[in-house]
Amino acid sequence: MLAALFLIAPVLSACDAPPAGPAPLSVQADTLNTEWAVEWWLPRHKQKLKDKDKQKVDLIVLGDSITHGWEGEGEAVWDEYFAPRNGFNLGFGGDRTENVLWRLDNGAVDGLSPKLVILMIGTNNTGHRMDSVEDTVAGINAILKKLKQKLPATDILLLGIFPRGATPDDPARLRNQQINRRLKANAVNRKWQRKHANVHYRDIGSIFVGDDGVISETIMPDLLHLSPEGYRLWAEVIEADVARIMAD
């Protein structure tokens, strides 16, 4: 299954959905026919291609629906923290690692030279189909490699996958924690550091979880997506990193 992650997806036509990636064939077929993907995913991608050429972009946030939410529940916090830094939102609901790779291969950041990309991706790999730790980490590393190719002068703030689920033993949360441990181990590995010298790793997930391991619904109403309070916590905890990296 790991090898399938690196297959090149076909160019999408107006009636196509985003690539399904390394799922079993039956799951691929279901995903390729997902109505929400046909209705808004590709139009959003096309609109973002137009938008990026109309504004100055010094900061990109890249990820799934949690990042997409900076345009919804997180909008006020975005206007305070990221809009003044010429931020550009490339979060797409439902995205897994392979969907981000497809977008990068199809113009998402072409022509840009931001100072910083904030990347957080992977919870849909675990939550949707419980991909293995190895496959999800490989997907994240492939995104980092692609970003280095596309944006060689850009720093990347790689965030650990946020916690999810009602309790500490939620299967998807446990899988996310395993992935984050692997990402942390990579980040302190000298060989990995040489390959990804511009990548800064942080796991900020603890700010969303109480001492008992329970996630407050005032922070994550559905135990996955953030409330306005959750977005403020996110922005505040990475502010020092963002300011330092973008000042260099």
pLDDT digits 0-9 by tens, 29-77: 334 446 666 788 989 999 999 999 999 999 999 999 999 999 999 999 9
* Strand ranges inside the chain, DSSP E: 59-63, 87-91, 116-120, 155-159, 199-202
Catalytic residue among 169, 212, 222, 248: 222
What's the rounded mean pLDDT across residues 110-125? 97
| Count of beta carbons in the 10 Å neighbourhood of residue 238 | 17
- Active site includes 65? yes
Provide the pLDDT for residue 6.
30
Given CA atoms 151, 154, 155, 161 in this order, what sign does their dihedral have? negative
Provide the pLDDT for residue 37.
67
d(CA 152, CA 20): 28
For residue 5, is pLDDT > 50?
no
**Terminal Cα-to-Cα distance of the chain (whole angstroms):** 40
- Active site includes 222? yes
Catalytic residue among 16, 65, 200, 241: 65
What are the boundaries of each domain within the chain? 3-7+25-247
Percent of the chain's residues with pLDDT above 90: 77
**Confidence bin at 190 (pLDDT 50/70/90):** confident
Average pLDDT of the chain?
87
Q: How far, in Å, are 22, 25, 180, 195, 236 from residue 105 at the CA level?
A: 17, 23, 25, 20, 32
Radius of gyration of the chain (CA): 17
CA dihedral 145, 149, 155, 157 (to 10 degrees): -30
Q: Angle 225-226-228 (CA atoms, 0-180°, nearest 5)?
A: 150
Catalytic residue among 155, 170, 225, 227: 225
Provide the pLDDT for residue 36.
62
Q: Output the CATH code of domain 3-7+25-247.
A: 3.40.50.1110
- Active site includes 216? no
